[in-house]
């Protein structure tokens, strides 16, 4: 299925998120404080803006359309990812691995379930607002 062009910015973010998740999952060395600082920085600059667009625009509109299961899953995933990145920032390598695993699964969920529902259920004005906040290049 071809993705609605107004969601391309968010889909592009997913590629970067998967690269991050893979690099965390495949790392062989011990997790360090510096690794946690770097992950925290990347989360704030790359993932948090993506989450905010979804939470500010997509999820309220999906909830109004009755897609509460999808909304609840997304909110739960975002909360888990935020909590694991905070733990990883303070040196918890197990949390970093859990973050990587959940991020990978979350991206797949959004591409396979959340975004198709957005394309089907959401009005043009919501999708256009998403496109304005999530340009193709970040």
Structure tokens at 70: 């999808």
Is 32 buried (19+), middle (13-18) or exposed (0-12) by CB count in 10 A? exposed
Domain extent, residue 119, equals 5-133
pLDDT tens-digit profile of 49-87?
A: 999 999 999 999 999 999 999 999 999 999 999 999 999
Residue 88 lies in a domain: yes
Domain count of the fold of the chain:
1
Q: Which helix (H) or strand (E) holds 89?
A: helix 68-89
What are 9-48's pLDDT values in tens digits?
A: 999 999 999 999 999 999 888 999 999 999 999 999 999 9
Query: Does any domain span residue 29?
Result: yes
In a domain, 115, yes or no: yes
Residue 138, domain member (yes or no): no
- List pLDDT tens digits, range 109-128: 999 999 999 999 999 999 99
CATH number at residue 28: 1.20.120
Distances, alpha carbon 11 to alpha carbons 18, 35, 41, 119, in Å? 11, 26, 21, 13
**107 located within any domain:** yes
Pull the structure tokens for residue 122: 């959401």
- Is residue 11 situated within a structural domain? yes
């Amino acid at each position: 299925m071809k993705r609605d062009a107004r969601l391309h910015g968010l889909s592009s973010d997913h590629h970067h998120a998967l690269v991050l998740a893979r690099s965390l999952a495949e790392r062989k060395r011990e997790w360090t404080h510096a690794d946690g600082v770097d992950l925290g920085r990347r989360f704030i600059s790359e993932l948090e803006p993506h989450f905010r667009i979804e939470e500010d625009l997509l999820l309220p509109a999906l909830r109004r359309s009755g897609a509460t299961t999808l909304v609840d899953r997304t909110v739960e995933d975002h909360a888990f990812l935020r909590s694991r990145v905070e733990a990883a920032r303070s040196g918890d390598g197990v949390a970093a691995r859990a973050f990587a695993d959940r991020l990978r699964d979350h991206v797949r969920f959004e591409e396979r379930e959340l975004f198709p529902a957005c394309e089907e259920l959401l009005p043009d004005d919501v999708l256009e607002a998403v496109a304005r906040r999530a340009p193709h290049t970040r």
